[in-house]
Every structure is written in structure tokens, then in C-alpha cells.
Structure 1
Amino acid sequence: MNKKAAIIAGVAIIGLVGAFALGGNKKKSQDTALEANASMKIVHSLGETDVVKNPKKVVVFDYSVLDTMDALGIENVVGLPKATLPESLEKYKDKKYADLGALKEPDLEGIKSQNPDLIIIGGRQADFYDQLSEIAPTISVNKDNKDYLGSVKKNIDTVAKIFGVEEKAKEEFAKAEKKIEELNKKVKEQDINALTVMVNEGNLSVYGEESRFGILYQSFGFKSKDQNIDDSTHGQNVTFEYLAKQNPQVMFVLDRGVAIGKSESAKSTLNNDMVKSMDAFKNDKIIYLDGTTWYLNDGGLNSLNTMIDDAMKAVNK
């Protein structure tokens, strides 16, 4: 081959290589774009919704989901209801996040102005589902009182799937499960019975094994002192005489006033002779639960650990 022919051949080869490289880069860009725009079908408590993978602008009305997103480092939140934010989520009071109404009264116009790619709600916003779905794809998460921990895991897995962080979610949930196993073992060894009491402006209500606080019994291992509690949403109203008669080894107390931003009232309400006659009082086994966690954002990836730590006080005291 003469010198001129060699040069021509070399140029041709370089051109072919360049063409293949450009073609490969173009295909890679196309694949990336397709992946970014890919959607998935999310089955949730109110139906099925097609959701774009890793949505960039997300409105969140369920604090447990916000808690999970925060734990997983997902920074795609553009707005939320700020009025009753738990202390653990106070960073979302920053002005860069839009304030979009109250937990039970979403600001529909405000939400629309954010042009979200996804809206995530909970049971408190169920009545607004159709209106919200007209603004953007909307999914609803809830917790099953009969299988509390299982439904919590499902919600965490759903968030992880949407944002492509399944492995991290799996690792973090496994850590929580290990803590639960350790707690359950200690509770079972000590054979501890308990009552869960909510104090609301002087009124008392108790919650059983299939209530919103059922994780204490289903997963943490405590035995409900009263097996016949009516597990309604707002609990079963009771008296101080009832508490003294049941006389549980441990009494878990949630102060609803603190949970919704009002002044503390549970300790003063329970400061009476009947309560002081109970074994739980005498043995320093009245456990005051973290109100905002248990009442507003229970079952998030971070808040689940707070719940475990609260319950652990019953066996470590």
C-alpha cells in the first residue's frame, strides 16, 4: 500500500470510530432520557397511579413519608403543610419550601402553583384525593392497624422505589428490625403487660392491639392488660377508676395537646391519688411517648426508631 492510500485508509478508520462513538453517546443519552422519563404504576390505598421515576418536584402531606424521605436523603420536596411540623422535621419550615395549608385542609391553589410532579397524601387528606389528582399524579399511603409494621415497610418500600434508593431503604429498615427484635426479646423475657393511654384536655382513652398504636403489642411484644378494648380511631373512653382497676405493669401515655402544639397537660391530669396507687406509678413505669412522633409522623424511617427507643424505656428503667 502506497503512502497516499495508507493516509486515506487511516482517515476512513478514524471516521468510522468517530461515528460509532457518536452513535454510542447518542444512544446512551437517549437511554438516560428514557430512564428519567420512565413511569411506574403505584398501587396505593385509594387506587393505582402512574408515577414518573424520581419526580423532581414533590408535594408531601404525610409526615411519615416526609420523615422517610429525609432519612433517605431525598431532596425533591417543594411544599408541605408547616403548621404542625414535628420538631424532628423543623428544617422544612425553611422558606424554600412552600407552606401549602393544613393537614386536613390542603391549599389547592397553592399546590397547583408549585406545578408538582407528584403529590403524596395520607388518610387525613383522603377526601381531597380526586381534586389533588387533577393537579398532579397523587398517591395515598396509610397504615394497617392489623399489620402495622408490615404496612410501614410497604410505605417505605414505595418511597424507595419511586426515588430509586431501594438498597439504602432496605439497609436502614433492617437496622430498625434488629432493634425491634432486641426489644421484643426483652419484653417477652420480662412478660410485661401494658396499657396505652391518650390524654386529651383531661379526657382519657385507651388503645389496644389493633389500634393506631398496635405496634407496641404486635411487634414490640407487650401484652395488652385489657384484651377487650374497642379499637376505634379515637380509642375507648375510660376513667381513672378503670386505670386503677386494670393496674398494668407499664402505662404508655400520649399527650395529644403536646402533639398538636398545645400546652402539656397529661402529667398534671395524671397527678392524682388513683394513678399514684398503680404499680406503674410506684415502679416508675409510666412512659410518656414522644407526642408528635406517635401522633403525627409515626411509621417513618426515622420516627420508627424514636418509637422503638420510647418503648425501650419500659424495659431499661
Structure 2
Amino acid sequence: MHLRRSRGGLVAVATAAALTLAACGSDEGTDTAAEGESAADGDAAAAEETEGSADESAEDGGEEAASGTVEVTDFQGTVEVPVPAERIMVTDNRVVRAMDEWGVEIVAAPLDIFPGDLSYASDDAVTNLGNHGEPDLEAIVAADPDLVLTGYRFQDYYGDIQDLAPDAAIVDTTTDYENAPLDEELIRQLELVGQSLQHEDEAQAMIDEFNASIDAATQAYDSEQTVMGLLTSGGDISYVAPVTGRSIGPVFEVLGLTPALEQEGGDSGHGDDISVEAIAEANPDWLVVMDRDAAIAAEGDEYSSAEELIAESEALQNVTAVRSGNIVYLPADFYLTEDMQAYTELFNSMAQAMGSAR
């Protein structure tokens, strides 16, 4: 820009000189003016050439900056991730929905433990690794990933993945709810995925929605009211311990919920045995319930839903939460997702229900 302004100044000076000397009728003045104009044009051409070269260099530099590697910090330490990664494999069900929403293409995944409505489920180019119980690990060799996002149910296979994909960058997306709050870990996890895939802006947008849902639920909740978490599966109702219990437990700490029962849990995966009489005695003002079977039952299978189990239990009908209709159910596919989006939906549901009840 500075060179272009200089060009304008040179042209103005040359023109003024030409007019002055022409008025004197001097041939020599005319020649001088012509030389001045020629010099100005030469300077301008040089300026434009220099600026053009600078623009080309900037474009080349931008392309170089967009490729190479980026260093991220995961559950294991630091990892050099290829940018952009060309063959991506993902095993963590808690990050795959974000990747699908961002339009990230993948080459392999354990589709059997992922939600069925993902675009990957119908993509023939995606190698199905099965499930975490009996995964087809040998398929990883054929998939030949250069970036692997793995963790949670596949955490025990970290070493196997290293052996089978020795040239891949492996990012451990595992969260540590035992030593850090749920919200902090979900944010750390999504930021990690966003950095690894160069989708930081999209990740931040999800984080902003997540934080807003926490604020909404916190403001709607009356801390004088007690809350109990329940999990239903196989026709049974189980107790979810505050803080440590599966899925619902960490919510108590995030939202500052007052437990109706502070009994420690032993089974963080499937809830702990509890009698309906014990639930009735605790008499919670609110119930937060996860229907595990809703996510894993095959299409056409018959099972008793959480709503049916609670409605059909005579012992629960006088519980304040049941009598008042103060029951919040987790999204039906929560057991297969357990991601930031699922918690955002849950918190928004709690905010709406609790806000309406006040």
C-alpha cells in the first residue's frame, strides 16, 4: 500500500513539472517531463511486481503453514499430529458425533458401539472394527490410519493399536472423571479433538452451548430440593451414586445438586442394587433417570422402559418426584453417546423442567 501511494505522488510531481515547462515553450522541458513520467511508470511497475511477489509468497507460506504437524496434549502426554490427517480412525463413542457433525471423513471405527444415525454407519468406505468386547483389531492394519483418536471403552487396546498402526499418531481421548469434574474433562476432550482435526472454532461453539446449558440448569435448580439418579435395565431399577455413578453421578457436582441419598456406589457402570422401598424412604424431589435398554435394545425387541418401570411400581407412587412429575429422562441414546452434546441436551431438559416447576 505504501508503494502505491508513492506512485501517485511521483505522477503528480511529474505532471506538474511537465505543465510548467510546457508553458515556457521549452523542448528540453518537454523531454524532462517525459523522462519523469517514464520514471514514475517504471517505479509503479516495480512496486506492483514487488507486491505481487509478496502476495504469492504469503499464499505459499499459508499453504505450508496449513500442512505439517501440530502438537497436542492428550491423556498420555504430547503427540505430534499430522495436519491435515488423511486417514483417520476413531474408537471413542464420546467424540465421534462431533466428528460426524464437522464432516470429518474416517477409515475405521467400532460401528457396533456407535449411534446408528451417524453418517459413518452407512458409509462402505468405513471399516467396522466391531465392538470393544471382541474387536476386529487386525482390520486396523488394512485401514492403515495416519491418525487414531481412541479411548474410553477402547482404552485397554491402546498398546495393541500402537503395534498395529506403528506409523500413526495416536491421540488418547480418555477422560478422568475420578480426578477432575465432568465439565472440565468434557471441555478438555473436545478441545483436544478440535486441535487434532483443525476444527477449533467448531469445538468452541459446542463448548459455548455446553456452558450455557450448565448455567441454565444451575439457575433453574432449587438447592433445597433433593435429587436421586436411577438407571433402568433388564426390568430392574438401580441406584446411581452421586459423583461416582455412571453418567448421572458426575452431574451432581457440576450442577451442585443435593442428593436425596448419599450412599456410596460400587458399580459405576450399571448402577447399584436398591429396593423401591429404599427409594420411597429417601423420597427425592427429583429423579434423573437413564434407560440403558433404550439405547442397546435391538429394533423390535420388547423391554420395559424406565417410564413403565416407575409407573408400575406401587411403592414409588407416593414419592414426591413421581407424584409431582419431576422426572428428567436422559436422551434415549445416552448410553451410546455420553458426549458433550448429550450432556448439553440433558442440562437443557433439566433447566426447562426445574424452571417450570418453580
TM-score under structure 2 length normalisation = 0.74
The Cα shift of 1:81 comes to 2.1
Q: Which residue of 2 aligns with 1:277?
A: 318
Which residue is 1:107 aligned to?
136
Q: Deviations over 1:88-118 (max 9, x none)?
A: x432212244142233043223232222221
- Structure 1 pair 272/23, CA: closer, same or farther in 2 (3 Å)? closer
Q: Does 1:218 align with 2:247?
A: no
- The alignment yields a C-alpha RMSD, in angstroms, of 3.1
Q: By how many angstroms is 1:249 displaced? A: 0.8
Q: Secondary structure at the match of 1:76?
A: coil
In 2, the alpha carbon distance for the partners of 1:313 and 1:103 equals 36
Residue 304 (structure 1) shift: 3.0
- State the partner residue of 1:53: 83
What corresponds to 1:92 in structure 2?
120
Residue 62 in 1 paired to residue 97 in 2? no
1:125-169 deviation digits (Å, cap 9, x = unpaired): 112111212312222222332410000000111111122332332
| Equivalent position of 1:4 in the other structure | none
Which letter maps to 2:323? Answer: K
Distance 1:137 1:69 in 2: 17
- Per-residue deviation at 1:200? 1.8
1:48 and 1:206 map into 2 onto residues whose CA distance is 38
What corresponds to 1:35 in structure 2?
65
CA distance in 1, matches of 2:55, 2:121: 45
Provide the C-alpha distance between the structure 2 equivalents of 1:24 and 1:195, rounded to a whole number of angstroms: 62
Unaligned runs of 5+ in 1: 2-6
1:244-263 alignment runs, 5 A limit? 244-262=280-298, 263=301
Match of 2:230 among 165, 184, 197: 197
Could you tell me which amino acid in structure 2 is paired with residue 98 of structure 1?
Answer: V
Q: Distance in 2 between matches of 1:139 and 1:192?
A: 41
CA 1:200–1:116 in 2, change beyond 3 Å: closer, same or farther? same
Structure 1 pair 22–247 and aligned structure 2 pair: CA distance change class (3 A): same
Counterpart Cα distance in 2 of 1:306 and 1:27: 43
Q: Is 2:104 the counterpart of 1:75?
A: yes
Q: CA deviation at 1:281?
A: 1.4
Q: Is the 8 A contact 2:100 2:118 kept in 1?
A: no
Of 268, 274, 298, which aligns to 2:338? 298
> Cα offset for 1:224?
1.5
Number of corresponding residues: 307
Answer yes or no: is the 8 Å Cα contact 1:216–1:311 preserved in 2. no
Q: Structure 1 residues 185 and 15 mapped into 2: Cα distance closer, same or farther (>3 Å)?
A: closer
* Shift, 1:16, TM fit: 11
Q: Distance in 2 between matches of 1:260 and 1:122?
A: 20
Matching residue's letter, 1:52: P
- Give the superposition deviation at 1:43: 2.6
1:128-143 map, 5 Å: 128-134=157-163, 135=165, 136-143=168-175
Distance 1:61 1:242, change over 3 A: same
CA distance in 2, matches of 1:144, 1:232: 17
Which has the larger Rg? 2
TM-score (norm 1): 0.83
**What CA distance in whole angstroms lies between the structure 1 residues aligned with 2:65 and 2:144?**
21
Distance 2:131 2:255 in 1: 29
Unaligned runs of 5+ in 2: 1-30, 32-37
Give the direction of change, closer, same or farther, for the CA distance of 1:168–1:115 in structure 2 (3 Å limit): same
- List per-residue Cα deviations over 1:259-296 (Å, max 9, x = no partner): 22344423343312112232221111233222322x22
Q: CA deviation at 1:124?
A: 0.7
2:215 matches 1:186: no
AA partner of residue 85 (structure 2): P
Relative contact order: is structure 1 or structure 2 higher (C-alpha 8 Å, sep ≥ 6)? 1
- What percent of counterpart residues are identical? 18
Change (3 A) 1:106 1:46: farther
- AA aligned to 1:80 is A
| Pairing 1:312–2:334 present | no
